[in-house]
Chains A and B, each alone.
Chain A
Amino acid sequence: MRQDLNLPGSASTPAIQSDWQAGRLSLQGDSYPENSYELFSRVIDWVEAFLERESRPLELSLELVYLNTSSVKAMMDIFDLLEDAHREDRKVGVVWHYDPRNERIAELAEEFREDCTFSFVIRPLEVSA
């Protein structure tokens, strides 16, 4: 067990929740901090610890809206960890929810998915009117 993350998010940083028991990590909102590495190193540490100490499945639930390039790089590092785990027969997956009006984020998610062989679902949110 490791301390879970529960970060509220701000204009430039996503809200982040981790749930060690459930094997779930969730991120929502915009991500464009000047120093993405500083923020994401905590997330990367959590993912590394989970994959190392547990053998249970891990699911990432994403509702990210916009990522600057340094956040994209940090997310790629996280997906690389999942990819390595998947190659060792661990059950890992990503579900990325997006607003169907925002095709840019769907395109970005699709480019991430191209480099992943684990389950990577890109799913439009239901939008009222």
Chain B
Amino acid sequence: MDLLTLRDTYLQQRIMLCFNGPISRSLIEEIGHALRNYLNRQSAALSASMDVFAVYIEMTQNIRHYANQQGYDEEQATATIAVARDEAGHYLVSAGNLVEDADGRHLVEAVAGLAGLDAIELKKAYKQQLRRPRDEAAPSGAGLGLIDMARKSSRPLQTSLQPLSSGQSFFSLTATI
């Protein structure tokens, strides 16, 4: 294993915390706990640390829900999560997972749709989504979470969708706190 290359990549991209593997409910809690402790030690403002944690929870729980809904096995239900800090001191929270290509394209569109909304419009969209009946909100699952992340992100959420040889795609989402 070439850990040095891995380490150099982390340093280069200013990654503070990273996880790649099958993600369980308890792992989400454990990593979240580590993340909060780390941010507290960095004496990050409590509001920033709450936002990073909130975005991390929404991202990872969306991935879990999606993998469950698709009936993915452990290997397919793998999540890639990274929290980095950019040169301006913003926290970048990213998560990626395998998706069916059509679902990935739907997500990219949904995020692009939110990018044009200002804070007031996002709040309105959030409250509307909150009032939608549970069953209706369930199919995509990620509706309310995406709007919540968009509200917390100081820049529009960024997505990427890369096709894989398996016929599925790798979807990734980044929020800037």
**Chain A interface (Cβ < 8 Å from any Cβ of B):** 11-12, 32, 34, 37, 66, 68-70, 72-73, 76, 101-105, 111, 115
A34 touches B51 (CB 8 A): no
Q: Contacts A32-B57, A34-B64, A68-B58 given; indicate if A104 touches B51 (C-beta within 8 A).
A: yes
Q: Are A11 and B33 in contact (CB under 8 A)?
A: yes
A76 to B131, CA, bound (A): 9
| 20 A–B pairs (Cβ distance < 8 Å), ordered by A | A11-B29, A34-B25, A34-B65, A37-B134, A66-B54, A68-B54, A68-B145, A69-B144, A69-B145, A69-B148, A72-B130, A72-B144, A73-B134, A76-B131, A102-B50, A103-B47, A104-B51, A111-B123, A111-B127, A115-B127
The distance from the CB of A68 to the nearest CB of chain B, in whole angstroms, is 5
Binary contact track B78-120/A, C-beta < 8 Å → 1, others 0:
0000000000000000000000000000000000000000000
With an 8 A cutoff between CB atoms, is B10 at the interface? no
Per DSSP, are chain B's interface residues mostly helix, strand or loop, or mixed?
helix
Please determine whether B144 and A102 come into contact, CB atoms closer than 8 angstroms.
Answer: no
Q: Give the interface of B toward A (CB within 8 A).
A: 25, 29, 33, 46-47, 50-51, 53-54, 57-58, 61, 64-65, 123, 127, 130-131, 134, 144-145, 148
